[in-house]
Amino acid sequence: MMDCLQAQTILSEAIDGAVDSDALSEARAHCEGCPECATFIRGSTCCPAQRYQEHRPPRR
């Protein structure tokens, strides 16, 4: 059975690249009923700046 640390680690890796699909499915299943992991998912995916790539370009 996957725990929070394992699930969040896999989700983090999934944001950055491909991970094993079975492991990702298991991580998602874990997160469906886990408030702690739901917080992690929200913080990682819920906003336009989720991937922290939106930057104002320099003015000059």
Partner 1 sequence: MLHVNLRLSGGVLEEQAVISGALSVQELVIAAQAGDERAFETLVRTHADAVYGHALRFFGDAASAEDATQEVFVKMFRSLASFDGRSAFSTWLFRVTRNVCLDMARAGARRPIPTDPVDLVPPSVRDFADDVVLSRTVETAIRSLPPEERDALGAVTLFGMSYEQASTAFDVPVGTVKSRVFRARRTLAHLLEPAEGGA
Interface contacts to partner 1, rule CB under 8 A = 8-9, 12-13, 15-17, 39-44, 46-49, 51-60
Least separation, in Å, of the C-beta of 42 and partner 1?
6
CB within 8 Å of 2: residues ≥ 6 apart: 10, 26, 27, 30
CB within 8 Å of 13: residues ≥ 6 apart: 19
Least separation, in Å, of the C-beta of 51 and partner 1?
5
Could you give the residue ranges of the DSSP H alpha helices within 17-50?
21-32, 35-45
Residue with smaller CB distance to partner 1, 21 or 52? 52
Least separation, in Å, of the C-beta of 33 and partner 1?
15
